[in-house]
């Protein structure tokens, strides 16, 4: 995309997509930036700016046409074509990833599973046999791999990453709690599960201690209600009037 787009805007894009996907599945035809603000906790102006950056435009007095924006965002994210994935580390986290139907419905297909644990090698998950990691290089010669997933311990993650780099994988989804030192041409998306839990715990601690003073999403969440008539979430009346239908 020719325009300069910040990494923060890119990270917000999947959030918008998931919301529009849910609205579309529930038969909602239009939504305003104010309503989206309740879902995302982003400001209405931020939402309008983000969606406009990616070519998704709304109309004054109408809002956003859900189906149109959903399909637009799907195309922008590249979810309208298939991607082949492999995964190394078929432990608890690895199995949870493999067995998630959400990924395949979004175009992500696992074609190879690898592990070094003799007890895992030979088992099958979703019809895919777990191979010895020593077979990875030969597997790569006969298959197109778009994304490599790492779900091993931090001690093993760097070796797996270097193997991925060696066989030409250009995108890595890393669940290991470690920093990967790879060629700058390789895209790495880290999923810091422990950091996310620590952040949640900190916010809970602050909430319990009464030290939250800003109008943050934790405090707002308790004032969000589901409107059965509208079929969407909105701020409760004690915070003011229901959300207006504006862009």
CATH number reported for the structural domain that contains residue 119 in this entry: 3.40.50.720
- CA separation for the pair 139, 147 (Å, rounded): 14
Residue where a domain terminates, one of 47, 62, 77: 77
In this structure, the answer to whether residues 68 and 166 fall within a common structural domain is no
**H helix count then E strand count, the chain:** 10, 11
Residue where a domain terminates, one of 77, 106, 121: 77
- CA separation for the pair 218, 226 (Å, rounded): 17
- Please count the structural domains in the chain: 3
In this structure, the answer to whether residues 172 and 203 fall within a common structural domain is no
- The pLDDT, as a whole number, for residue 192 is 82
In this structure, the answer to whether residues 129 and 209 fall within a common structural domain is no
- CA separation for the pair 166, 133 (Å, rounded): 14
Please check whether residue 241 lies inside any domain of the structure. no
- The pLDDT, as a whole number, for residue 93 is 94
Q: Minimal CA–CA distance to 145: which of 186, 101, 175, 93?
A: 186
Q: What is the CA radius of gyration of the chain?
A: 21
Q: How far is CA 61 from CA 30, 37, 57, 212, 241, in A?
A: 11, 16, 13, 35, 17
- The pLDDT, as a whole number, for residue 200 is 86
- The pLDDT, as a whole number, for residue 241 is 42
In this structure, the answer to whether residues 94 and 67 fall within a common structural domain is no
Q: Which residues contact 135 (CB under 8 A, 6 or more apart)?
A: 114
- Longest CA span, the chain: 63
- CA separation for the pair 16, 137 (Å, rounded): 37
- CA separation for the pair 244, 231 (Å, rounded): 15
Residue where a domain terminates, one of 77, 109, 129: 77
- The pLDDT, as a whole number, for residue 223 is 47
Render each residue's pLDDT in the chain as its tens digit; 247 residues. 445 678 888 899 999 999 999 999 999 999 999 999 998 989 999 999 999 988 888 888 789 999 999 999 999 999 989 999 999 999 999 999 999 888 888 999 999 999 999 999 999 999 999 999 999 999 999 999 999 999 999 999 999 999 999 999 999 999 998 989 898 899 999 998 888 889 889 888 888 887 764 455 444 444 444 455 455 545 555 444 444 444 5
In this structure, the answer to whether residues 201 and 171 fall within a common structural domain is no
Range of the domain at 206: 194-235
In this structure, the answer to whether residues 102 and 187 fall within a common structural domain is yes
In this structure, the answer to whether residues 92 and 112 fall within a common structural domain is yes
According to DSSP, residue 145 is labeled -
């Amino acid at each position: 995309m020719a325009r300069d787009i910040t990494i923060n805007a890119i990270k917000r894009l999947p959030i918008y997509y998931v919301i529009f996907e849910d609205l579309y599945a529930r038969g909602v035809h239009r939504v305003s930036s104010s309503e989206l603000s309740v879902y995302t906790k982003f400001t209405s102006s931020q939402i309008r700016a983000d969606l406009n950056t990616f070519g998704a435009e709304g109309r004054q007095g109408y809002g956003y046409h859900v189906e149109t924006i959903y399909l637009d965002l799907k195309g922008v994210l590249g979810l309208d074509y298939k991607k082949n994935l492999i995964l190394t580390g078929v432990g608890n986290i690895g199995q949870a990833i493999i067995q998630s139907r959400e990924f395949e419905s979004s175009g992500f297909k696992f074609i190879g599973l690898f592990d070094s644990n003799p007890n895992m090698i030979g088992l099958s998950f979703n019809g895919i046999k777990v191979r010895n990691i020593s077979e990875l290089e030969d597997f790569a010669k006969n298959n197109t791999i778009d994304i490599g997933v790492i779900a091993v311990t931090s001690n093993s993650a760097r070796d797996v990453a270097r193997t991925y780099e060696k066989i030409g994988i250009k995108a890595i989804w890393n669940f290991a709690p470690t920093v990967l030192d790879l060629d700058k041409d390789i895209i790495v998306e880290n999923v810091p599960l422990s950091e996310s839990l620590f952040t949640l715990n900190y916010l809970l601690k602050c909430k319990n201690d009464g030290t939250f003073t800003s109008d943050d999403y934790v405090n707002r969440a308790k004032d969000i209600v589901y409107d059965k008539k509208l079929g969407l979430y909105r701020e409760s009346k004690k915070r003011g009037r229901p959300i207006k239908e504006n862009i």
